[in-house]
Structure 1
Amino acid sequence: MTEQTTERAPEGPAGEPTPTPEPTPERPAGPVAETDAGPVAETPTERSAEPVAPRRTRRVLWAVARWTAAVAVCGGVGTGTALGITGLDRDEVPGLATESDGRWEYPRLVLPALPVDKPRPFTAANDGEIHHADPRALLLPAPTGATPDPKLDGGFVSTEAYLSLYGEEFRGELRKSLSDSTLRHVVARGWTMPDGTRTSIHLLRFSSVAYAESYGDVALEVDGTSGPKALPLGVETPVPEALADDVEVPDTRAYVYREKKPYGAEQTRWAYVQAGDTLALITQTRKGESLAVPFQQTATLQNQLLG
């Protein structure tokens, strides 16, 4: 091995040795170190010249960075899970599911926009209790899973289409009453649920609240003690019911009925909602028995839209 000699360098102004260029030593065959650029041979001079403290510092910094990233990821996952669970309904969280009570899943309801400077029907500025919103926008939308009725698609329908809901023996008198009461519009929406329940909603808008109330009270006798005078098609005996007390809508009147047993292959439930200048008819028919829960829900939601 070639010996290396190093002369003592003269000291500089601060008493520190001034380094002088060293002769390039021969590169002996020694241990091989792995670097990013590939394997290189190490020499005693290179090992002694390698700064130890900076490499240790870099390792510590990389470790801290890795742990910081890991903590951040875990924290993000935990937060996301918590937000995901709190954002779900109770029946959507595993282990917290509750048995359905039969209610349907309706879209979130929003009151329709009004023309400029037009008030809501039951406000101090609207003595006539007039619905200034488009009547089609006041129809309850179909629930999730429903098959829409193409004939009752939420648009305007004829008076005869509305009258077809009643038995033939009632249609003549109702037709005359509607002709005398200045009926303005009839809009309707209908659908069928997977269990076979058929629903239809008709909104009748009159020129004033007086005409709307007269048609309901006189022609239909919705507030009669023995039930309404005009009955839906196929119904023989009505049984008065009521909507739930905890969901009453101020300023409207609701009249609810069901078909009394014995009935034929299907049962009908229906309700009238008198709200200012508008009268609503909600009907549900189902083979075997018409279910009370979805009917009460549907009638209540339509009542809220009108109030």
Structure 2
Amino acid sequence: MTVTVTETVTEQPAEPEAPASRPEVSAPRRTRRVLWAVARWTAAVVVCGGVGAGTAMGITALDRNEVPGLATENDGRWEYPALRLPALPADRPRPFTEGNDGEIHYADVRELLLPAPAGATPDPKLTGGFVSTDTYLSLYAKESRDDLRKSLADSTLRHIAACGWTTPDGTRTSIHLLRFSSVAYAESFKDLALEADGADGPKALPDGVDGVVPETFADDIEVPETSAYTFREKKPYGPDQVRWAYVQAGDTLALITQTREGEALAVPFQQTVTLQNQLLG
């Protein structure tokens, strides 16, 4: 603030005042005010900077299982709830930690299913519980079911847990988690499901799918110690397109499928597969 010094002018001459008496008083006052304003702005900047740094540290300090699958505006992702790994029985390790050479998921496999995103309508037949082998095999074309059924019967399959939903854009999603007694049995069934049919991809295709195109995800969304195999239905196809993926994670094999009229969109598919993969890894 500028301090203005005014003088009163009279008709009668007067003795001059002591030189620079008022400026000597106003200069320090002005200096103090300027310094005080600078100090306040400096304090505000420091506080704001501290708040920003604290928020950044809080976000970057979150474990992977604590990061929510939030939607990003206009990029097509769905809004998933915050993801947390289920509690383990006492003295049981995670599947890919030291002391768990068998890569076993000791958590209830039903609690490892990805929850539905915001606004989705749950599938009344796939509610997050256990399902039968026949229910799982109904996903495949009829000519593939016998071989897959025999493989499951010969393996030590423990459970199949499944959930499903439909989002407002019409995308139908299903997730099946097959938990075996060992990594070897899980990999054996995965190899059969992915057995190549010449250059046209796996022989075991989803029901109603005739052609397949393999897909790849970006390296920065891969989950350590797991493997993902992703596909989409090749043109020409009928009124719906199918995308599907297998996730091999130790003793558990996941099958994620998405079907949508016109085209099954890539962004929510990759998001769904990645988040389910994180829960298994």
SS of the equivalent of 2:191 reads helix
Equivalent in 234, 247, 252 of residue 278 of structure 1: 252
Equivalent in 88, 99, 103 of residue 125 of structure 1: 99
The one-letter code matched in structure 1 to 2:232 is R
Pairs aligned (count): 216
Structure-2 separation of matches of 1:296 and 1:225: 24
RMSD: 2.2
The one-letter code matched in structure 1 to 2:85 is L
The one-letter code matched in structure 2 to 1:183 is L
The one-letter code matched in structure 1 to 2:100 is N
Distance 1:223 1:146, change over 3 A: farther
List structure 1 runs of 4+ shifted beyond 2 angstroms.
Answer: 218-226
The one-letter code matched in structure 1 to 2:233 is E
Distance 1:242 1:224, change over 3 A: farther
Q: Note the C-alpha offset of 1:245.
A: 1.4
Structure-1 separation of matches of 2:270 and 2:132: 27
Structure-2 separation of matches of 1:234 and 1:182: 29
- The 5-angstrom pairing of residues 142-291 of structure 1 reads 142-221=116-195, 226-291=200-265
Contact 1:105 1:143 in 2 (8 A): yes
Higher RCO (CA-CA < 8 Å; seq separation 6+): 2
Q: Note the C-alpha offset of 1:146.
A: 0.1
Match of 2:266? Answer: 292
Distance 1:267 1:184, change over 3 A: same
Structure-1 separation of matches of 2:261 and 2:113: 25
Distance 1:255 1:147, change over 3 A: same
Calculate the TM-score normalised by the size of structure 1: 0.67
Distance 1:207 1:194, change over 3 A: same
SS of the equivalent of 2:104 reads coil
Deviation per residue, 1:73-132 (Å, 9 max, x gap): xxxxxx9xx99xx9xxxxxxxxxxx84110000000001100000000001110000000
SS of the equivalent of 2:236 reads coil
Distance 1:223 1:139, change over 3 A: farther
Match of 2:89? Answer: 115
- The 5-angstrom pairing of residues 66-105 of structure 1 reads 99-105=73-79
| Consecutive unaligned residues in structure 2, runs of 5 or more | 1-47, 56-71
Contact 2:193 2:202 in 1 (8 A): no
Calculate the TM-score normalised by the size of structure 2: 0.73
Which of structures 1 and 2 has the bigger CA Rg? 1
Contact 1:243 1:300 in 2 (8 A): no
Structure-1 separation of matches of 2:117 and 2:255: 18
Over the matched positions of the two proteins, sequence identity in percent amounts to: 77
Q: Note the C-alpha offset of 1:237.
A: 0.6
Structure-1 separation of matches of 2:251 and 2:195: 17
Contact 1:222 1:255 in 2 (8 A): no
Structure-2 separation of matches of 1:241 and 1:278: 22
